[in-house]
Amino acid sequence: MSNKDALRELQLRLANRLQAARERPRAAGWLAVECAGIGLLLPLAQAGEIHPARQVAAVPHAKPWMAGVANLRGQLHTVVDLAAFLHLRPPVPVAAPRQGAQLVMLNPSLRVNAALLVDRLAGLRDAEQLEPLPGDAAPRPGFAGDRWRDATGREWQALDLAALALDPLFLDVAA
């Protein structure tokens, strides 16, 4: 099986699991993604469709973390390099996409045509699979939620996509 076929199957499985997760009630559910080796949890209720990170068009004079724009289902979406936005690594040019990179659209209910460029999808997570970590005194942006640890000991940072969509820096995409 080619890498392309395996990627399509993974996307289809995740899309089906996302839809099933939206249809059944849960205390909390997240789409787990990786950016620059850091585990991030995106709330299922705030995440939208997942698309391959290809055909992102660069936008001149944009913020360094703005990867460009992409036509997703007939609508233009601003593409934000989430790792660069969070200062986890320097921005990567759109001409050199990372293998396995994906676009996670923000849910249309957030009323922002944006997609987050993430390095890799890591599946779905429930609160039952994670244990909360104690808070620390380090300053964090308003969109940073709780921190969690899974059974393997890996730490995950939850992000509130609704708060992210309202963050002035996030909304200020043009330099």
For residue range 45-55, list pLDDT tens digits in order.
999 999 998 88
β 114-118/102-106 pair status: antiparallel
The model's pLDDT over 141-167, given as tens digits with 9 standing for 90+, comes to: 899 999 999 999 999 999 999 999 999
- Residue identified by tokens 């849960």 is 26
Query: Residue 80: its pLDDT value, please?
Result: 95
Q: pLDDT value at position 104? A: 97
Q: What is the pLDDT at residue 97?
A: 62
| Contact (CB, 8 A) for 83 and 98 | no
123 half-sphere exposure, CB direction, 13 A CA radius: 5
In angstroms, the CA 95 to CA 98 distance is 10
How many degrees, rounded to 5, is the angle at CA 169 between CA 41 and CA 80?
A: 55
- Would you say the pTM of this structure is higher than 0.75? yes
Q: What pLDDT was estimated at residue 6?
A: 79
Averaged over successive runs of 10 residues, the pLDDT of the chain (175 residues) comes to 77 76 66 96 96 90 92 94 94 75 95 95 94 84 93 96 94 64
Nearest to 159 by CA among 66, 60, 88: 88
Going by C-alpha positions, the residue among 170, 53, 61 that lies closest to residue 105 is: 53
